[in-house]
Amino acid sequence: MGVIAAVAGASGYGGGELLRLLLAHPEIEIGVLAANTSAGLPVTDVHPNLPDLEGRVFTDAEALAAAEADVVFLALPHGQSAAVAATLPGTVRVVDLGADHRLADPQAWRRAYGGEHAGTWTYGMPELPGARARIAASRRVAAPGCYPTASTLALAPLLAAGLVEPQDLSVVAASGTSGAGRSAKVNLLGSEVMGDLTAYKVGTHQHRPEIVQALSGVAGTAVSLSFTPVLAPLPRGILATCSGRATAAGADSDAVYEALRSAYAGEPFVRVLPPGRWPHAAATLGGNAVHVQGTYDAESGRAIVVSAIDNLGKGAAGQALQCANLMLGLAETAGLTAQGIAP
């Protein structure tokens, strides 16, 4: 028998994407599938795209405590993972796709999400300096959010290379509607979303402190970030335009490009596109890839990097599986691909 994975929140978009990836994993078998609001329902009633799970039924989260599992994925809404994690044996590896354990500062957590901070786990973005070793040695890992993944991987190389001022960073990122979860909301109805772009939680989005935390770690000093999220009329995908004021008058596009290329040489999932080719969100769909491209805007004195990810892939389920592979001593790329689907 191979490695067994259990999933809490398996009926949601992130949970469903995780199941799709696990079905193709060469060394992981799918164990208990928990989904409290869907407990008792056949899995294929909720995820008809997963016919190989025909006959499987969702259970409730209480079953996870006694379930046979080597790794448990928590694909739950923010604020719900900690209670479930507390019931799991310490010997079981756990990857939290939610935000409960991402932030180190309890006050930042309270401001962003409300309620009490549940503690900090190892941050699961393998491409950051030193992160792979920390993830591999951990039994509890907090997978990053979708906006933080797109933003951090765009700006981290520029900060590490000293090309941009840490106190003048900006991100404007558009995301598909699946980033808001599967629960019914009037503002996410097709009639409300189609043909429209809407900025929301401007200057107050809960992912900003996570981006600031990750980038501050790379910069070695506190960063200042303006973050504007935009709801886009598409099911999945993120396109983020990230910039910072250049530190030197001699900065140019070649320096920006070289910083990206050097930082991600050999990375299995980050693709620095050829000069002149800019990321498309659709090109990353279905994969665990990050597409990045950068330039220098001499008129404004800002270095700019555009990144694209699938918010359900590298922004959620794919990244969680990437972390689990490291934690379990498996090939990091097992069950994952950098190739997208089209059209």
SS (H, E, C) the chain: CCEEEEEECCCCHHHHHHHHHHHCCCCEEEEEEECHHHCCCEHHHHCCCCHHHCCCECECHHHHHHCCCCEEEECCCCCCHHHHHCCCCCCCEEEECCCCCCCCCHHHHHHHHCCCCCCCCEECCCCCCCHHHHHHCCCEEECCCHHHHHHHHHHHHHHHCCCEEEEEEEEEEEECHHHHCCCCCHHHCHHHHCCCCEECCCCCCCCHHHHHHHHHHHHCCCCCEEEEEEECCCCCCEEEEEEEEECCCCCCHHHHHHHHHHHHCCCCCEEECCCCCCCCHHHHCCCCCEEEEEEEECCCCEEEEEEEECCCHHHHHHHHHHHHHHHHCCCCCCCCCCCCCCC
323 labelled catalytic = no
Token match 């990144």: residue?
Answer: 307
CA–CA separation, 240 and 242 (whole Å): 6
Catalytic residue among 18, 61, 146, 231: 146
User: How many other C-beta atoms lie within 10 A of the C-beta of residue 80?
Assistant: 16
In single-letter form, the type of residue at position 190 comes to G
Catalytic (active-site) positions: 146
